[in-house]
Amino acid sequence: RTKTQNFCRNEYNLTGLCNRSSCPLANSQYATIREEKGRCYLYMKVIERAPFPRRLWERVLLSKNYEKALEEIDENLIYWPRFIRHKCKQRFTKITQYLIRIRKLTLKRQRKLVPLRRKIERREKRREEKALIAAQLDNAIEKELLERLKQDTYGDIYNFPIHAFDKALQQQDAESESESDAEKEEDDEEMDKREFVEADDSDLSDFEDMDKLETSEEEQEEEEEVEEKASHSKSKGKTPLKGPARRKRPYIEIEYEEETEPTTKTKAV
Amino acid sequence: AGHGSGPAEDGAPPAPARVLFPPTFSVSEIKNKQRRHFMFLRWKQQQRKEKLAAKKKRRKEREALGDKAPPKAIPKTIENQRVYDETTVDPNDEEVAFDEATDEFAPYFNRQTVPKILITTSDRPRGRTVRFCEQLSTVIPNSHVYYRRGLALKRIIPQCIARDFTDLMVINEDRKIPNGLVLSHLPDGPTAHFRMSSVRLRKEIKRKGKEPTEHVPEVILNNFTTRLGHSIGRMFASLFPHDPQFIGRQVATFHNQRDYIFFRFHRYIFKSEKKVGIQELGPRFTLKLRSLQKGTFDSKFGEYEWIHKRREMDTNRRKFHL
């Protein structure tokens, strides 16, 4: 209901407002345009058919061509009052416009609305909270990082005296025993050990660690990076001992030299 | 006698030291709500006292026995009681290893491809989503954010492939917050559709760290045990370049717990050999997998490898799929 006029609820109304001149019930001679499934029809009501309610409204299919349809309307409503003719054409124009818009929109992607279910949302939220508490993320991350540190994925960067020193000592002893055979064996053992240890780990870190081991070896060979790390770590307040860990390097370099040649070239550039 | 004293003292009287509840009496039989509530509270207090007494007794016994005490009982958790999933991956499984060597991520894991990621949103992203996209692009190296103005996904996928992108991430938005993520590996890879929740932008996280730098972070993937979990984990791993730069000391974690994947981004520092400190920087969010499709994103004709079926899968509280 607007301020001045009512809306008419009759479906055959031409303008949509409730006036004496545009009420299909009040006028015995009336015409409307209605559309069904994308086709427009002209509906007409004349006084001769007033006693036959079933045949009251005569329906004429209008052509799809806009101008032709307008002509058809004119043709059918010839000798009809000006008001009805004019309003019919206006209504027909509006209808075709919105049909065009519908067709254009259906070509574009349409947003599909999926209703949320409140109970399910609440359930999911609660479960998520519980899972978060059960996860203990900080501890898990810290544990994982410490494990990686233990398994030497970081290689040369972090030097904690006890750990690395002992390891370096062990390896130095091994070196002094025999030549490359022993070294290679040790390497194989270490590799096996690494593989064995990794197998116990949670699963995906296998791939990660394997690859990271290789990368850490690569990185060890870069002088610049070592200096960078040294300066970087010194700036963070640590004093790495380069001595013991350095002894590890030579024989590992022998192992991985071939692989890393291309990368060293690119890095040097 | 104790029962009689209850209704007589309404209001807030102190509970007597030892209240006797006759065994046939149940608190729910009293019609008066106030009285019933009062009796229930008293009953609860009594239960708690009994429990405390029992605990004390047990602890004394344990101490008295000393070394011969039976081992402490392990409390039942959901993780302990989890229904055994037959698709759990055994680390030594050859079939799985073979599958993974030949699936779509093999080139990544063999270092043949470098990941290049395209992050985009649904139509008309709002401020929060936009900022989230930016932050995400700083977290993931080699990623680009492009806004979508009405472009159909099916058409941008071939363009992406032509420009050498390896992954596509679409962040779906609802009412100004991001709530969904579609992650698809591009050259014909699987597409995973997640529901995203509890997104926290960097300024909302309580920390005083700086922004994530350009270094390549490490990746931690926790608890991806089943076959499905394995493939999802590999998908995540393939987002990041394979050679982490340890100087950056940054780590991105995808932690799976009860089918929720928590993403966190931290900077770590080793204070000593046994202690590490982590500082959270970067956005955080949680994901829940909704579906996994074999090919690239295709809602109508795609072949679904896994869909979350609510009625079947949500009923059992001990069964998880990832």
Tell whether B36 and B107 lie within a shared domain: no
Q: Which domain holds residue A61?
A: 30-107
Closest by CA to B277, choosing from B290, B263, B266, is B266
Tell whether B55 and B137 lie within a shared domain: no
Tell whether B125 and B192 lie within a shared domain: yes
Output the six-digit token pair for B211: 């922004």
CB of A133 within 8 Å of a chain B CB? The answer is no
CB of B198 within 8 Å of a chain A CB? The answer is yes
The CATH number for B290's domain is: 3.40.50.10480
Residue B3 lies in a domain: no
Output the six-digit token pair for B227: 């076959």
- End residue of a domain, out of B17, B36, B65: B65
The contacts of residue B250 (CB under 8 Å, 6+ apart) are: B212, B213, B215, B217, B218, B265, B266, B267, B268, B281
What ipTM does this complex have?
0.74
Tell whether B54 and B165 lie within a shared domain: no
Sign of CA dihedral A158, A161, A167, A172: positive
Q: Which bin fits B111, alpha (ψ -120 to 50), beta or left (φ > 0)?
A: left
d(CA A62, CA A58): 13
- Residue pair A98/A106 in contact (Cβ under 8 Å)? The answer is no
pLDDT digits (tens, 9 = 90+) for A4-30: 788 888 889 998 888 888 888 889 899
Tell whether B153 and B295 lie within a shared domain: yes
Put simply, the answer to whether A128 touches B278 (Cβ < 8 Å) is no
Closest by CA to B142, choosing from B169, B115, B105, B111, is B115
Residue A265 lies in a domain: no
Domain total of chain A = 1
DSSP A77-107: TTTS-HHHHHHHHHHHHHHHHHHHHHHHHHH
Q: What percent of chain A has pLDDT over 70?
A: 57
**Which letter, b or e, does each residue of A241-260 get, where b requires 16 or more Cβ atoms within 10 Å of its Cβ?**
eeebbeebeebbeeeeeeeb
Put simply, the answer to whether A142 touches B278 (Cβ < 8 Å) is yes
- End residue of a domain, out of B12, B35, B65: B65
pLDDT digits (tens, 9 = 90+) for A115-165: 888 998 899 999 999 989 888 888 888 888 888 888 877 766 666 655 555
Tell whether B118 and B228 lie within a shared domain: yes
Domain total of chain B = 2
Tell whether B167 and B248 lie within a shared domain: yes
Residue A69 confidence class, pLDDT cut points 50, 70, 90: very high
d(CA A17, CA A12): 11
DSSP B28-74: GG---HHHHHHHHHHHHHHHHHHHHHHHHHHHHHHHHHGGGSPPPPP
- Residue pair A89/A59 in contact (Cβ under 8 Å)? The answer is no
pLDDT of residue A169: 63
Residue B77 lies in a domain: no
- Residue pair B196/B171 in contact (Cβ under 8 Å)? The answer is yes
Residue B305 lies in a domain: yes
Residue B91 lies in a domain: yes
- Residue pair B184/B296 in contact (Cβ under 8 Å)? The answer is yes
Put simply, the answer to whether B247 touches A225 (Cβ < 8 Å) is yes
Q: pLDDT of chain B along its 322 residues, tens only?
A: 444 444 444 444 555 555 666 666 777 788 889 988 999 999 999 999 999 999 999 888 888 877 776 777 788 888 877 777 766 666 667 777 777 777 777 777 777 778 888 888 887 888 888 888 888 888 888 888 888 777 777 777 888 888 888 888 888 888 888 888 988 888 777 888 899 989 988 888 887 677 888 888 888 888 888 888 888 888 888 888 888 888 888 889 999 988 899 999 988 888 877 888 888 888 889 999 988 888 776 666 777 888 888 777 778 888 887 7
Closest by CA to A127, choosing from B9, B28, B286, is B286
Residues of A in contact with B92 (CB under 8 A): 199
Answer with the residue of higher pLDDT: A221 or B103: B103
CB of B279 within 8 Å of a chain A CB? The answer is no
Closest by CA to A214, choosing from A165, A258, A161, A163, is A258
Pairing of strands B117-121, B143-145: parallel
d(CA A40, CA A99): 10
Residue B155 lies in a domain: yes
Cα–chain center distance at B296: 25
Put simply, the answer to whether B258 touches A131 (Cβ < 8 Å) is yes
Closest by CA to B288, choosing from B229, B238, B201, B234, is B229
pLDDT of residue A174: 62
Residue B71 lies in a domain: no
Tell whether B112 and B146 lie within a shared domain: yes
Tell whether B94 and B217 lie within a shared domain: yes
Best residue of A137, A139, A163 to probe chain B, by most B CBs closer than 10 Å: A137
pLDDT of residue A234: 38
Residue B14 lies in a domain: no
The contacts of residue A88 (CB under 8 Å, 6+ apart) are: A14, A31, A32, A33, A42, A73, A77
Tell whether B37 and B168 lie within a shared domain: no
Q: Which domain holds residue B55?
A: 27-65
Give the residue on A whose Cα is nearest the Cα of B96: A203
Report helix, strand or coil for B272.
coil
Residue A146 lies in a domain: no
Residue B50 lies in a domain: yes
Is the pLDDT at A185 greater than 50, yes or no? no
Quickly list H helices, B226-289: 227-237
Tell whether B31 and B138 lie within a shared domain: no
Tell whether B110 and B231 lie within a shared domain: yes
Tell me the shortest Cα–Cα distance from A168 to chain B, in angstroms: 16
Cα–chain center distance at A175: 54
d(CA B194, CA A142): 27
Element (DSSP H or E) covering residue A32: strand A30-36
Is the pLDDT at A65 greater than 80, yes or no? yes
